[in-house]
Amino acid sequence: MKKLSFFLLSLVVVMIACKKSGSDNSTPVLDGKNCKILTMSTSQTGYSSLTWFYYNGSGNLLYTKGTSSQLLGDTSIGTQYKYQDNILQYSFSNPSTNFSDTVFYSYDGSNKLKSTLEQSRAGTTLWSTKTDYFYNSSNQVIHTLARSTMDTAFSKVDSIIYSYTGNNVTKYTLFERTANDISVNLTIDISYDNMKNFYKAMGLPGDSYFYWSENNMTQMKFADSTNAFTTVHFSRYNESGYPTEFTQIDNSSLQGPYTMVMTYQCK
């Protein structure tokens, strides 16, 4: 499935301490402005990256450019977006890994995302993935069904059920079947802070549950016996309620914790 490599959170147990810098944990008075992310930088032992976001006059994300300390030669990675009212196409390329990804978006008569068709290339290997989206009466996505042509042990079918509390996805239940006919069932319980979801400040089309919730995820907990976990600490927010810095600690990572810093334009 599509990898948003510069900001996708791990599907692991997340325990977060969350506060506004210089204040207690109560909800601060916000200025009511809407924000767009301008830059996103990541630092980690042995790795660093910086991504710039560029928007059109309507506030839709046109493209991103980024640099990474792991890239050799061509030190840029990026995405591009094409629109006709709604976003129609997303393209991503990483020259260091010879990986590229293009996603085509389709909408129903009510302007809701109906399906995506993802076409991927890794070296000389090509595959495609089609994902359908299903909604409840409140226009919240409650089910996605993805089918892939990948001929290896990667997922052939992903069926995911989403449950909500208010405007946040609070449960994620995955039913997966791989190409070698292995079934995987996984349930994750999710908690949130009371601040604005920074994914929504990227101007993206909302084809992943990261974008659907109103607030920032503060805990993701596996309903199984795994020991993997991630601790994320949102240490600062801007006056509009968006996080500007967090540190993530993943016990399954050999590189140690990483810190992400974001800047915004708000109006």
| Ramachandran category for residue 203: left, alpha or beta (phi over 0 → left; psi -120 to 50 → alpha) | left
Query: Which position has the higher pLDDT, 73 or 243?
Result: 243
Is 60 exceeded by the pLDDT of residue 158? yes
pLDDT for the residue 180? 67
CA atoms within 13 A on the CB side of 205: 28
Q: Which of 10-14, 94-98, 145-149 has the lowest mean pLDDT?
A: 10-14
pLDDT for the residue 204? 76
pLDDT for the residue 251? 64
Query: Which position has the higher pLDDT, 197 or 206?
Result: 197
Q: Give the closest residue to 145 by CA, choosing from 135, 157, 137.
A: 157
Is 70 exceeded by the pLDDT of residue 27? no
For tokens 């500007």, the residue is 244
Q: Which of 63-67, 110-114, 177-181, 231-235 has the lowest mean pLDDT?
A: 177-181
pLDDT for the residue 245? 94
pLDDT for the residue 253? 62
Find all residues with CB under 8 Å of 85, minimum gap 6, and list them: none
In a domain, 8, yes or no: no
Going by DSSP bridges, is the β-strand pair 229-237/13-15 parallel, antiparallel, or unpaired?
Answer: parallel
CB atoms within 10 A of CB 49: 21
Is 70 exceeded by the pLDDT of residue 229? no
Is 60 exceeded by the pLDDT of residue 78? yes
Is 60 exceeded by the pLDDT of residue 234? yes
pLDDT for the residue 179? 63
pTM over 0.85: no
In a domain, 5, yes or no: no
In a domain, 44, yes or no: yes
Helix (H, G, I), strand (E, B) or coil at 213: coil
Percent of the chain with pLDDT over 70: 77
How many separate domains does the chain show? 1
Find all residues with CB under 8 Å of 238, minimum gap 6, and list them: 35, 244, 264, 266
pLDDT for the residue 85? 75
Q: How far is residue 181's CA from residue 60's CA, in Å, rounded to a whole number?
A: 40
Q: How far is residue 89's CA from residue 162's CA, in Å, rounded to a whole number?
A: 25
In a domain, 4, yes or no: no
CB atoms within 10 A of CB 230: 21
Q: Give the closest residue to 152 by CA, choosing from 123, 132, 176, 181.
A: 181
In a domain, 37, yes or no: yes
For the chain, give the mean pLDDT: 79
In a domain, 83, yes or no: yes
In a domain, 82, yes or no: yes
pLDDT for the residue 92? 82
Q: Domain containing 71: what range?
A: 13-266
Mean pLDDT for the stretch of residues 200-208: 82
pLDDT for the residue 53? 92
Is 60 exceeded by the pLDDT of residue 159? yes
pLDDT for the residue 81? 83
In a domain, 39, yes or no: yes
In CATH, what number is assigned to the domain containing residue 255?
Answer: 2.40.160.190
pLDDT for the residue 247? 87
Is 70 exceeded by the pLDDT of residue 255? no
pLDDT for the residue 266? 94
pLDDT for the residue 224? 66
Query: Which position has the higher pLDDT, 57 or 134?
Result: 134
